[in-house]
Chain A
Amino acid sequence: MWFKTDLEYIPLHFIKDDKFFNFTEYTSQHLETLKLSISRLGVVNPIILQPLQGMYRIVVGFGRFFAAKQLKLSFIPARVLKDDLSSSQILKFILLLHSRKFSLAEKARLIKIMNLSGLSFKQIVREFGSYLEVNSQEIVRAYLKISNYHPGFLSYLSTHGVSLKHSLSAEGLSFQEQGFFLFLANSLSLKGYDLNDILTDLREIAMLERKKVLTVVKDLKIPEILEDPTLTRSQKINKIKKIIKKERFPILSKINQNLEKISKKLKFTPDAEVTWDSKLEEPGLKISFRITQPEMAKSIAKDLLNKANISLINELLRIYYEGLSDKEDVD
C-alpha cells in the first residue's frame, strides 16, 4: 500500500540532506549511541525514503542516515515510498510508525510540516487531530506559533514540562530574547514553571515600562547575578525571582518589607514569631510563641499589654490591610 520497493540498499549520495520531515530531536549522545550500534551491527532498521526529483528525501530515519554518513558508509538499507503518495498520506504513515507519545516540540514541528505541506488547519484537525491530541484549529494555530520559536528554546520548554498554554507566554519574543531565556534556563537549570514565571513577569514589566525585555533584564542586573561566583544556583534563582517580583509588584513588596521590619521590633519573652501571607490574602497576621514553662504564658500576657507592642501590632494590621501611605511609599 505504501511502498514502491522492497528492501533496497541505496547509495548515501542519492539521498538529499533534507530535513523537511524531521520532527524528532537528536542529541549528540543519541547520535553517538547510534553510531556505535551501526558500527557493530550495521543499520538494522531500514530507513524510509520518498522519491523526489530523481533523488530521495528522508521520511523516517534521520538519526540512522546521519550516523551512517558520519561512519562514511556508502549504502544504507531503505524502503522507498510510492511516487504518488500525497503529503497527507506520508504524514499519516510517519505518525503510524511513531510509537512514543509526542512531545510538545515534536507536535509543533509536525504541525509545521503539515502546514508547509499545504494542509489546512481544518484538515490537520480532522485527519491528524487524534494522533496529536489536537481538537481545534486554535490549538493548531498555537502549535504553529511555537514551532517558529528558537529551536533550542522550544526544546527546553518541551523537555521541561511546559504546557502549550504556558509556552505561548514567549510568543512575540525575538530570537535574541529567546536566546537569553535559554541561556538563563540552562545556566540555572530552571524548572519549566520557574522559567515561565520569570519570563511572564519580565514581559509584563517591559510592557508596563514600555521597554524591551532585554533592557529590563539589564536594568535589573540579572546578568551580573548570573555571573556572581559567590552565589549558589538556588541563591541566584531566589535573588532573580525576588528582584523581578519587587519590580513587578512594588507595592506588595514594600508592604512585606515594612511588615518584616516592624515585626522585628516586637518585644516578647519568649520571642514572638510573626507570620503572614505574603500575598496579604489570608485574614490577619499570626503571632506565635514557643512555650516550655507555665510562667512564659504570664510573661506573654504581660507583653501583649505592653503599650509599645500594642502600637506595633496596630501598625502591622494597618499596613497589612491598608498598605502604606503615600509618604511611606516614597520612603
Chain B
Amino acid sequence: MKDYLIKRMWIDHEVISHYRVKKILQRLPEIKEVKEIFPERKVNFRELSFEEAKSTLFLTKFPGNFVKPCPGTGRGYLCCGYMVINQPVGCPLDCSYCILQDYLGRSPLTLYVNFNDLTSQLDRLTGVYEGKILRIGNGELTDSLALDYLGDFSSFFISYFRKKENLIFEFKTKTDEIREFLKLSPSPNIVISWSLNPRFIVEREEHFAASLKRRLKAAHLLQERGFMLGFHFDPIIFYPEWEADYEKLIDELFSYIDPSRIFWISLGALRLTSSLKQIIQHRFPTTKIVYQEMIRGLDGKLRYIKPLRIKLFRKVYQCIKDHAPSVFCYLCMESSDVWERVMGFSPQSNLHFRYMFEEHCKKVLSNS
C-alpha cells in the first residue's frame, strides 16, 4: 500500500497525445488537477513547495542523455563506476536526509515518455560495452519502484536488460511495490536492492517509505521467485542506540534472506551538502541527524568524523560477515584508508574498484 499520493498532473503539451500519457491518465482517474504545460514559456518549478512537488507528476520528454556515469564524489574517495539512468526523476518518498532535496530542489516528479529514445541510447551504450561488465541502475534520482505503477519501468528495464547478459541492471527502493515483478520471470543480471535502516530511523526519517518489515518481506518474496537481491546500508546514521539497532537489523535481514541470493551489499555513512543541511533543518526541525559531529570532507560534503565512520562501518560489516561471510560488500564514496581499516584491504584506485566489482559480477553471473 502506498502512503504517497499523486495529487496533480502537469503534461507537456508536446506529449499530450502520447499513448503513455493516456495510459497514465487512465491509471490515475481520481486526479482532478491536470494542467497542460508549455515548457517553452518557462515553467517556474521553484514556486512549488517540496510537498507539492512530491505530489505533482510532470509528463514530458527528455531531449538529452538518459544514461550518465554516476556523479560519485570528489577527490579523496573511491567510486565504483556505476552508471545511472535518469528515468523517472524525483521521488515521492520524503526521507529527511535525501540528497534529492538539494539536487532536484522542488521539481515535480518527472516521468519521460520518450522510452524510444532511452532504448536507442541504451543500444548505443551496450554496443560500446559489448563483452564488458557494466552496472547500471535508475535508483539514483528516484526510488526505482515508487512510480512503477505509473511508468511500467520494471517491465521495460527487465525486458530490455534480460537480453544483455553483461549489463547488470539494479532497481533501488525503499518500497514494497513489487507487484509487477511477480508477473515477470527473473534474470541473473537483474538486481532488486533495498535500502535498509533500523526501525528507529525508518520511523523517524524515512517518511512514506515502507516499513522495515514490508521491505524485508518484499525482498523475501522476490528471492523466492528467483530474483537476485542487493542491500544498501546507506546512509548509516549515528544515534545513541545505533550499535544494538544495526545489529538487530542485520539479524532480521538474514532471518528473511538467503545470503547466496545477494549480489552485493553497500555501506555508506550519512553525507550532506551544506545546503542540504539547511533544507533539512528547515523542513524537519525535530530531526537531530544533522547535529552530530560532522566535518567538511575532501569533497566538500559534510560527513561524520573518520573515527566514527570507521566504527560504524566496522560494526555493520562485521555483523554482515557473521551471517554471510562470502557476501560481496563495498563502501560507497569512502577513502582508501577507511577501506583498509574496515575491510583490511582497499582498492588502489577507482579503476581498481571497478575491476574488483566486475570480477565479482562475472563470478556471480557465471555461477547462475
Contact = CB atoms under 8 A, between A and B. Distances in A.
Contacts of A165: 275, 278
A63 interface: no
A283 B47 contact: no
B223 interface: no
Contacts of A135: 44, 46
Contacts of B335: 281, 283
Contacts of B76: 281-282
A281 B311 contact: no
Contact of B307 (A137, A138, A168, A255): A255
Given A138-B46, A168-B278, A281-B295, A321 B305 contact: no
A248 B294 CA distance: 10
A325 B299 CA distance: 28
Interface string B281-301: 000000010010101111000
Nearest to B337: A283
Contact of B310 (A207, A282, A284, A321): A321
Contacts of B298: 281-282
Contact of A322 (B44, B47, B307): B307
B308 A204 contact: no
Interface string B327-349: 00000000111000100000000
A9 interface: no
Given A279-B305, A280-B307, A281-B306, A251 B293 contact: yes
Interface string A143-177: 00000000000000000000001001100000000
A321 B306 CA distance: 6
A323 B291 contact: no
A136 interface: yes
Interface residues of A, number: 28
A14 interface: no
Interface residues of B, number: 24
A283 B336 contact: yes
Contacts of A204: 291
Contacts of A322: 307, 310-311, 341
A137 B47 contact: yes
B307 A321 contact: yes
B308 A251 contact: yes
B46 A251 contact: no
Interface string A200-234: 00001001100000000000000000000000000
Given A136-B44, A137-B46, A323-B308, A280 B295 contact: yes
Nearest to A171: B282
Nearest to B297: A281
A252 interface: yes
A321 to B, nearest CB: 6
A2 interface: no
B54 to A, nearest CB: 16
Contacts of B46: 135-138
Contact of B337 (A207, A255, A279, A321): A321
Nearest to B46: A136
A137 B106 CA distance: 12
Interface string A239-265: 000000000111110010000000000
B311 A279 contact: no
Nearest to B296: A279
Contacts of B310: 321-322
B265 to A, nearest CB: 23
Nearest to A138: B46
A61 B120 CA distance: 65
Nearest to B45: A136
Contacts of A168: 278
Contacts of A279: 295-296, 305
A284 B337 contact: yes
Contacts of B296: 279
B63 to A, nearest CB: 23
Contacts of B291: 204, 207-208
Contacts of B306: 280-281, 320-321
A245 to B, nearest CB: 10
B341 to A, nearest CB: 6
A122 B46 CA distance: 12
A296 B71 CA distance: 48
Interface string A178-216: 000000000000000000000000001001100000000
B301 to A, nearest CB: 11
A15 B291 CA distance: 53
A165 B276 CA distance: 12
A114 to B, nearest CB: 17
A320 B278 CA distance: 29
A280 B335 CA distance: 12
B295 A321 contact: no
A248 B341 CA distance: 27
A217 to B, nearest CB: 18
A252 B295 contact: yes
Contacts of A281: 76, 295, 297-298, 303, 305-306, 335
Contacts of B295: 249, 252, 279-281
A203 to B, nearest CB: 10
A246 B185 CA distance: 57
Please provide the 6 A-B residue pairs with the shortest distance between their CB atoms, ordered closest to farther. Answer: A323-B307, A136-B46, A279-B295, A283-B337, A280-B306, A249-B293
Given A208-B288, A251-B308, A280-B295, 7 more contacts: A122-B47, A135-B44, A135-B46, A136-B47, A208-B291, A249-B305, A280-B307
5 contacts: A122-B47, A136-B47, A137-B47, A165-B278, A284-B337
